[in-house]
């Protein structure tokens, strides 16, 4: 028997296109828990085309996301929220600072 924690972990860590294809599969858990066979590529077909659509969908909300970050930076009650929003805006505008070792 599969524990609910295992199902939740698989649902979170499985790509969206794979979860959608499981809806019509007769035994979806066998697909999620089947181990990779020795000598076979785990990514023979390359990146799935649906992932590009998801990235484009996320980019379509970029203006709203930036406006939300600005709103949080200006009006959040908690200083930590305002600081995190400001840092996120700076990272997106100028790139994350390089860490020297």
The pLDDT score that the predictor gives to residue 70 is 94
Evaluate whether residue 53 is within a structural domain.
no
Number of structural domains the chain divides into: 2
Evaluate whether residue 49 is within a structural domain.
no
**Per-residue model confidence as pLDDT tens for the chain (101 residues):** 555 566 566 666 666 656 556 566 666 666 555 556 666 666 666 666 666 677 788 888 899 999 999 999 999 999 999 999 999 999 989 888 888 87
Least Cα distance to 70 among 62, 55, 98 occurs for 62
The angle at the Cα of 44, spanning 40 to 50, to the nearest 5 degrees, equals 145
Q: Which domain holds residue 21?
A: 1-33
- What is the pTM (predicted TM-score) of this model? 0.47
Evaluate whether residue 12 is within a structural domain.
yes
């Amino acid at each position: 028997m599969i524990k609910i924690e295992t199902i939740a972990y698989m649902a979170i860590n499985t790509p969206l296109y794979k979860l959608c294809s499981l809806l019509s599969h007769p035994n979806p858990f066998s697909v999620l828990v089947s181990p990779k066979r020795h000598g076979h590529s785990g990514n023979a077909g390359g990146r799935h085309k649906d992932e590009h659509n998801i990235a484009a969908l996320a980019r379509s909300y970029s203006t709203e996301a930036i406006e939300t970050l600005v709103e949080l930076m200006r009006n959040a009650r908690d200083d930590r929220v305002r600081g995190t929003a400001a840092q996120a805006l700076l990272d997106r505008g100028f790139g994350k600072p390089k860490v020297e070792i």
